[in-house]
């Protein structure tokens, strides 16, 4: 889809197409739609990310919590969104050993217990080894620091997903 076509969509169509850029959070596309027209990819992405950045913390937490755990139950049961399935596979998370699965699940549990939301990392920019190395480092952060990091990772994920839409 072209940016011109995207700019000319009705609100409902814009939300239907752009909504999935942020995991199970179409409210972001809905609140960004009135800011059209977008001059380029960067302007659109910035507007979407500003919608998140300017929202209340409970909305931001809802967005973070909408993301699945890496190698979590949803992934193991084949219940991820198509985008999440593809992204986790690109990082090699679909070919893990039983021991690696257990390691991810233990880290996920420790992270959720400490912060109250899932560990978020852009899978398209990281392989399983980098993710496993990031867990112990990030577990030492403050909750505020981790929420900020999670949102920054979500913005990276959104950039890739939005690029996919505008490249199709």
Q: Which region among 71-75, 99-103, 129-133, 151-155 has the lowest average model confidence (pLDDT)?
A: 71-75
Task: Give the model confidence (pLDDT) of 51-87 as tens digits.
Answer: 999 999 999 999 999 999 888 887 878 888 889 989 9
Q: Tell me what pLDDT residue 76 has.
A: 79
Q: Tell me what pLDDT residue 134 has.
A: 98
Q: Which region among 31-40, 90-99, 125-134 has the lowest average model confidence (pLDDT)?
A: 90-99
Residue entry with tokens 């839409």 = 165
Q: Is 141 a catalytic residue?
A: no
The domains of the chain, with CATH numbers, are 3-62 (no CATH), 69-157 (1.10.3330.10)
d(CA 81, CA 145): 27
More reliable by pLDDT, 77 or 162: 162
| Whole-number percent of the chain with pLDDT over 70 | 100
Asked if pLDDT for residue 110 goes beyond 80, the answer is yes
Which of 24, 53, 67, 163 is the catalytic position?
Answer: 67
Cα torsion at 5, 8, 14, 17 (round to 10°)? Answer: -10
């Amino acid at each position: 889809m072209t940016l011109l076509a995207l700019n000319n969509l009705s609100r409902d169509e814009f939300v239907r197409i752009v909504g999935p850029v942020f995991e199970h959070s179409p409210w972001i596309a809905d609140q960004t739609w009135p800011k059209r027209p977008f001059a380029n990819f960067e302007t659109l992405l910035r507007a979407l990310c500003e919608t998140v950045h300017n929202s209340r913390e409970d909305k931001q937490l809802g967005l973070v919590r909408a993301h699945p755990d890496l190698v979590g139950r949803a992934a193991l049961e084949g219940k991820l969104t198509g985008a999440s399935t593809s992204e986790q596979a690109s990082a090699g998370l679909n070919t893990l050993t039983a021991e690696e699965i257990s390691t991810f699940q233990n880290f996920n549990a420790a992270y959720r217990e400490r912060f109250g939301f899932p560990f978020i990392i852009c899978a398209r920019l990281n392989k399983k080894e980098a993710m496993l190395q990031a867990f112990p480092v990030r577990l030492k952060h403050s909750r505020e620091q981790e929420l900020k990091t999670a949102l920054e990772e979500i913005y990276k994920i959104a950039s890739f997903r939005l690029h996919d839409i505008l490249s199709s």
